[in-house]
Chain A
Amino acid sequence: MNPVIETRQASRHYGEGDTLVKALDEVSLQIQPGEFTAIVGPSGSGKSTLLQLVGGLDIPSEGSIHLSGKAISQMSGRELSDFRRDHIGFIFQAYNLIPVLTAAENCEYIMLLQGIAEKERRERVRAMLERVGLGGKENRRPNQLSGGQQQRVAVARAMVSQPDIILADEPTANLDSQTGADLLDMMHELNRKEGMTFVFSTHDPMIMERATRLVHLRDGRIEQEEHRA
């Protein structure tokens, strides 16, 4: 099976000479379709840098990143934007919705960029918000939703464009335990039922408990990997 993500000896360095910082150092990693992977490690271990690289938000200093078989480091800025739009879903820690757009418009936005017809957009948004438990709240703006509901909208937005993979950066960090657990259960269910690939960057034990694979980073290198049934 072809991996969704493959990093080949990927390194990311900042500064030069005496001030050189190796945020990521020759990391090789493959994420297979349907995985529910958590990248874990202490602060400064390179989790964020790795997620930025595989999400096409940054370019490796050395090595290469392949998403669905395509080397993203060779893409132009425009190709990279289109690639992110069509193949990657992002969920950030918090405040990642456009505050002036409603829940439905936030989800619809990415499909507008994809050029999907209005009728199909509306149907997919309605179905997706229903699936994440936000039916009836389509016209609420982010400030009219709770933190957990906002993250559900973020999940819906990430999934509605039917990406190959969803990258989530500490999605439960700003949620209380129960809300975080509910959100994770929802994503886990989407992973099991629909085979959606998730990669988390996290410290949250609840995510680690549910992950089918744990990648431990330390000082920019993979320290350990755990595969779970």
Chain B
Amino acid sequence: MGLTWRLALRNLMRNKRRTFLTAMIISLSLTALILTDAFIEGMSDAMVRSATRLYSGDAQIHHRDYLAQREESLAIDPDPFLEKLTQETDVSGYAPRVLAFGMISSAANNRAIQVSGIDPDREATVSKLRGAIRDGNYLDSDGPRTQILIGSRLADLLEVELGDRIVVSVNNQDTQGAEQQLFRVSGIFHFNARALDENTAFVLLPRLQEMMGLGESVHEIAFNFEEANQATQTDRPIWSRLSTDTAVAQGWTELMPQLATMLQLSNSSTLIAAVILFILAGLGVINGMFMSIYERTYEFGVLLAIGTRRTSIFRLILAEGLVLAVGAITIGAILGVVVTATMAAVGIDYGNMEISGVSIAEVIRPEYHINQYTVLPVWVLIMTLIACVYPAVHAARIVPAHALHKSL
């Protein structure tokens, strides 16, 4: 080991308590950063899962103008797309849907809602509707045409129970008039997501197509990837394969730009937390190093007097900072693993809190990410070295004649 490193290590061991406390500032900063990042990762994933895997799907195919205009006449022929989706190996499930904005009425109340016509078997490969049924049964393709699933909040608002009759009115594209049909509540679902539980009803796909006069056309084909993050990769060839002159396939980042923005903001919050922690930890390191330097002013005077260059003094202080940082980062990373694992085991239940219109329906658990143990420690190391520059410059600029004043 070179003399500079030996000196650095031994100087740090001179005042073990101060070194320990300074190291803990760095360690706990890294641990806090790791935990913050792990929590943001976990929350982001939970939000995306809530937004996509609950009902919407990782991606959807629509008529090119449908999302902008929401015109119910802008429907697409599903067959060519369903055939292509069958051949896509990365696609785990897909479901055609007809979407209508209509009125739902019970004996007690009525409400404007979105009615979705679905293929029950295909829908189960994309959304969690089947698992969300709280009372009654999931839709049966071979069952009565009058089956309807309504959300738990909607059932409360309409004051209906299983088997009760309700009337659904939608616009018929052929007649341009309202089409009313009687349904019986066959199931009540509870997604634990307000928008779905209060404003949505599901009926059989052919039934709604018939009511709306759409023939075999649908408004939407939702599909999931084998891996959820595949939907965020906009350069994948699948998007062009599933798009035509009249229809376009889009991932959730394009379908829900507000969510994508929100996740970017979450990353920014990690950055802000990091900057604040860096400043606080940096000040702690500067303070610790200055205390150490002030105690050794006479010693630096001796070192300079016997011919040590100022750059060597500067390097010595940086070496002390580097040794301190490496030790502290090791401790911080270990603490980060332990704290993240503990928090992941316990989880944080936000109790169906809505963020940017997305209900976080599950317990949030911090998630490990390679960056937490590579990028963040490097940043903490750089921060520590930057914090050491000021004391190092101060030490290097000590005037030996002044430092040795007591002696010479």
- A residues within 8 Å of B by Cβ? 48, 51-52, 55, 57-58, 77-78, 81-86, 88-90, 92-96, 98-101, 105, 108-110, 112-113, 157, 161, 169-170, 201
B257 adjacent to chain A (CB < 8 Å): no
B310 adjacent to chain A (CB < 8 Å): yes
B299 and A93 form a contact (CB under 8 A): no
A100 and B11 form a contact (CB under 8 A): yes
Residues of A within 8 Å of B406, CB to CB, are 93
A-B contact count (CB 8 A): 80
- B residues within 8 Å of A by Cβ? 3, 6-7, 10-11, 13-14, 298-299, 302-310, 312, 400-401, 404, 406-408
Q: Which of B11, B305, B310 has the most CB of A within 10 A?
A: B305
Q: Which of B7, B13, B298, B307 has the most CB of A within 10 A?
A: B307
A99 contact from B299, B303, B401, Cβ within 8 A: B299
Residues of B within 8 Å of A99, CB to CB, are 14, 299
Supply 16 further A-B pairs (C-beta < 8 A) apart from A52-B401, A100-B7. Answer: A58-B401, A81-B307, A84-B305, A84-B307, A86-B307, A88-B307, A90-B306, A92-B305, A92-B407, A98-B7, A98-B302, A100-B11, A108-B3, A113-B312, A161-B307, A169-B407
Residues of B within 8 Å of A58, CB to CB, are 401
Closest B residue, CB atoms, query A96: B302
B302 contact from A48, A52, A92, Cβ within 8 A: A92
A94 and B401 form a contact (CB under 8 A): no
Residues of A within 8 Å of B307, CB to CB, are 81-86, 88, 110, 113, 161
Q: Which of B14, B406, B407 has the most CB of A within 10 A?
A: B407
Residues of A within 8 Å of B10, CB to CB, are 100-101
B407 and A94 form a contact (CB under 8 A): yes
B310 and A81 form a contact (CB under 8 A): yes
B306 and A57 form a contact (CB under 8 A): no
A112 and B305 form a contact (CB under 8 A): no
Q: Within the complex, what minimum Cβ distance (angstroms) separates B28 from chain A?
A: 27
A48 contact from B7, B310, B408, Cβ within 8 A: B408
A95 and B298 form a contact (CB under 8 A): yes
B407 and A110 form a contact (CB under 8 A): no
Residues of A within 8 Å of B400, CB to CB, are 57
A176 to B3, CA, bound (A): 33
